[in-house]
């Protein structure tokens, strides 16, 4: 383990389809970093932030809930607003940032990239947890949620590939390396793979 890499301020942007375990891996990485350093960690979870807005019950929340419940992505600039609002209120260059579910469009990718330069974290790292279509389907069906039907899952997989996968190429055009992690093994194995890839 490289102590310098463990202790310095870093930013991590997570990608991965539904069922890949992004939220679990973000939490495991957060706990690991906290155990190795006193550096403050900020977690930007767009899904959690949007759920808060929905629960507030105002028009924007009802509109967001309607769009998401239909399995659609929000217009590109809406999550950008919430991202900047969160970062302005909570983030400073000396902190470490864990970002999950933040980028779903080219507009959002550009906004995140520019935000990282603004907050002096231009060396941010991108972690993509990859999972086969078969494993995605099996994991989501295993959750037992009403909206997790074979047809609905297939639609989400296709939508993710169409709208999100191209963003990885966009980040590459920004000069960023994509750290691809195999999401097929058990949770602990995936966690260890992430730590190894990040050199921490």
The string of pLDDT tens digits covering residues 63-88 is 999 998 887 778 879 999 999 999 99
DSSP category for residue 95: S
Asked whether 21 and 190 are in contact (CB, 8 A), the reply is yes
**Residue 1: band (very low, low, confident or very high) from pLDDT cuts 50, 70, 90:** very low
**Residue 147: band (very low, low, confident or very high) from pLDDT cuts 50, 70, 90:** confident
Does residue 145 carry a pLDDT above 90? no
CB-count exposure of residue 13 (10 Å: 0-12, 13-18, 19+) = buried
Query: In order of start, what are the domains of the chain with their CATH numbers?
Result: 3-198 (3.40.50.300)
pLDDT for position 110: 96
139-144 average pLDDT score: 90
How many CA atoms does the CB half-sphere of 175 hold within 13 Å? Answer: 4
The string of pLDDT tens digits covering residues 53-68 is 999 999 999 999 999 8
Helices 59-69, 46-56: inter-axial angle, 10-degree rounding: 130
The string of pLDDT tens digits covering residues 92-134 is 999 999 999 899 899 999 999 999 999 999 999 999 999 999 9
CA-to-CA distance for 65 and 50, rounded, in angstroms? 9
CA-to-CA distance for 51 and 63, rounded, in angstroms? 12
Give residue 189's region: left, alpha or beta (phi > 0; psi -120 to 50): alpha
- Tell me which of 70 and 169 has the higher pLDDT: 169
pLDDT for position 4: 52
Which of 109, 111, 107 is CA-nearest to residue 178? 109
pLDDT for position 47: 87
pLDDT for position 141: 94
Which of 199, 192, 178, 193 is CA-nearest to residue 5? 199
The string of pLDDT tens digits covering residues 14-36 is 999 989 999 999 999 999 999 99
């Amino acid at each position: 383990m490289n102590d310098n890499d463990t202790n310095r301020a870093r930013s991590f942007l997570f990608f991965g389809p539904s069922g890949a375990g992004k939220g679990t891996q973000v939490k495991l990485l957060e706990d690991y970093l906290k155990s190795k350093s006193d550096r403050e960690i900020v977690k930007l979870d767009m899904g959690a932030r949007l759920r808060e807005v929905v629960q507030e019950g105002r028009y924007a929340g009802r509109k967001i809930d309607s769009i998401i419940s239909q399995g659609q992505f929000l217009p590109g600039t809406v999550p950008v607003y919430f991202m900047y609002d969160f970062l302005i209120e909570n983030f400073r260059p000396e902190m470490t940032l864990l970002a999950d579910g933040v980028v779903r469009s080219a507009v959002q990718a550009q906004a995140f990239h520019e935000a990282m330069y603004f907050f002096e974290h231009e060396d941010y790292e991108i972690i993509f947890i990859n999972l086969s279509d078969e494993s995605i389907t099996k994991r989501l069906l295993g959750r037992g949620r009403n909206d997790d039907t074979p047809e609905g899952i297939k639609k989400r997989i296709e939508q993710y590939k169409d709208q999100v996968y191209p963003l990885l190429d966009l980040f590459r055009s920004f000069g960023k390396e994509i750290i691809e992690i195999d999401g097929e093994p058990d949770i602990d194995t995936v966690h260890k793979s992430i730590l190894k890839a990040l050199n921490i």
